[in-house]
Chain A
Amino acid sequence: NAGVTQTPKFQVLKTGQSMTLQCAQDMNHEYMSWYRQDPGMGLRLIHYSVGAGITDQGEVPNGYNVSRSTTEDFPLRLLSAAPSQTSVYFCASSRRQYNQPQHFGDGTRLSIL
């Protein structure tokens, strides 16, 4: 069982470039989410999805897009990378939206120059 798989693990971008962070889970989980983790701050929610075809914004959605065309995949797109988006990104999933243990990917360390 792979769990939650994030790719890539590391990425360096130039300001203005776009890219997609991939997240896939093989546990048939309904709820998936993207967080960013910055020094001195707790994890902050970017976007989340409660099922295929349904997405919504979290606390810090600006500059990011998501889609959920399948239950398994929840990619995060950076439209035009900015240095403020330098961070570690985590994808997580859980069986349902409420009161379920969260399963995290290993993270993507992203640097924007």
Chain B
Amino acid sequence: KNEVEQSPQNLTAQEGEFITINCSYSVGISALHWLQQHPGGGIVSLFMLSSGKKKHGRLIATINIQEKHSSLHITASHPRDSAVYICAALSRGSQGNLIFGKGTKLSVKP
């Protein structure tokens, strides 16, 4: 079993829909990262969080440490949100190295 699991693997939405991507992890963590990989391949860091909730524009990330679960929400989705979203866990005692999920491929149709 992977230490970091994402669901769904693929997600198709209509423009304007509210989107949720889930990430579960089995290790104790000190932080969790959400990343966005554009169709062209570049990877951008969206959030790093260790508790609670963070918001940036239409993106919201939440984490529940007790349940070992994080969610990434996109409100009022737009075709430009189409990308692969990756969660990565920084496990305690890992020497700072991240454990990555396999990613969720999101396609937002106009």
Contact = CB atoms under 8 A, between A and B. Distances in A.
B25 to A, nearest CB: 12
A81 interface: no
Interface residues of A, number: 28
Contacts of A104: 35, 42-45
A101 interface: yes
A26 interface: no
Contacts of A109: 41
Interface stretch (B11-19, B62-70, B75-83, B97-105): B97-105
A1 interface: no
B43 to A, nearest CB: 4
A106 B43 CA distance: 7
A103 interface: yes
Interface of A: 31, 33, 35, 40-45, 48, 50, 56, 58, 88, 90, 92, 96-104, 106-107, 109
B6 to A, nearest CB: 9
Nearest to A44: B100
Contact of B103 (A42, A98, A102): A42
B7 interface: no
B95 A97 contact: yes
B101 A42 contact: yes
**Which of B4, B44, B50, B95 counts the most A-chain CB atoms under 10 A from its CB?**
B95
B42 A48 contact: no
For the complex of A and B, the 3 pairs showing the least CB-CB separation, nearest first, are A42-B100, A97-B96, A104-B43
Contact of B41 (A43, A88, A101, A103): A88
Contacts of A44: 100
